[in-house]
Amino acid sequence: MKLYTYSGAPNPRRVHIYLAERGIEVPFEQVDIMQRANRTPEFMSQVNAMGGLPVLELDDGSHIAESVAICRYFEALHPEPPLFGSTPYEQGIVEMWIRRIELNFMVPVGMVWIHGSPLTRAVMKNQIAAAADQYRAVVQGYFGFLDRHLADHDFLTGETYSVADILALCTLDFAAKLNDLPHSPEQKHLTRWYESVSTRPSAGA
């Protein structure tokens, strides 16, 4: 088994944090996305037709792509302690937050990355500055939503740390560190949550 990954990229980081939380060690191989090594015909035909990282390669040579799918695979192998919830209700709430973070937070930050970053300009030849501005405002609005939600909750799904917190942490760091789009320190509930999840040992994985 091995994990195709790229250090510093937000989606692979989700899996590294998840594995660190669970104490699972998996060998990994760096694939340089800045050099488009994940977009070669070989990689796309043999590893992931979508080209994105991370990808988990199993011992029989099959592959699982998509960061949340890879985490779910490990959760099924090692169910305790759960990071996708225990009861049907908890599992539903975790799934709700996974979808929210993916669609309402990660997608807008990704749009800022695609349309506003000098690092993606060479690939995205038709960057639209107005789109980047519009999505920056969406992300800032989402920071406000999270801050209000976290006023009454320790973690996204309630009182228990879950994979949804991992997704949100990786997205928030992606926004702040790679897109110059940090939340405001005045958003004190979001700041308290961020300090809590980013100081867990797994966050450095």
Ligand X SMILES: N[C@@H](CCC(=O)N[C@@H](CS)C(=O)NCC(=O)O)C(=O)O
Which residues here bind ligand X, judged by CB under 6 A? 9-11, 33, 38-39, 51-54, 66-67
Closer of 7 and 86 to ligand X (Cβ): 7
Q: Rounded distance, CA 66 to CA 56, Å?
A: 9
In whole angstroms, how close is the CB of 51 to ligand X at the nearest point?
Answer: 5
Q: How far apart are the first and last CA of the chain?
A: 18
In whole angstroms, how close is the CB of 145 to ligand X at the nearest point?
Answer: 21
Q: Radius of gyration over alpha carbons of the chain, in Å?
A: 17
Closer of 104 and 191 to ligand X (Cβ): 104
Closer of 11 and 202 to ligand X (Cβ): 11
CB atoms within 10 A of CB 58: 11
Residues 6+ apart with CB under 8 A from 126: none
In whole angstroms, how close is the CB of 132 to ligand X at the nearest point?
Answer: 18
In whole angstroms, how close is the CB of 188 to ligand X at the nearest point?
Answer: 29
Per the listing, tokens 């999840």 go with 197
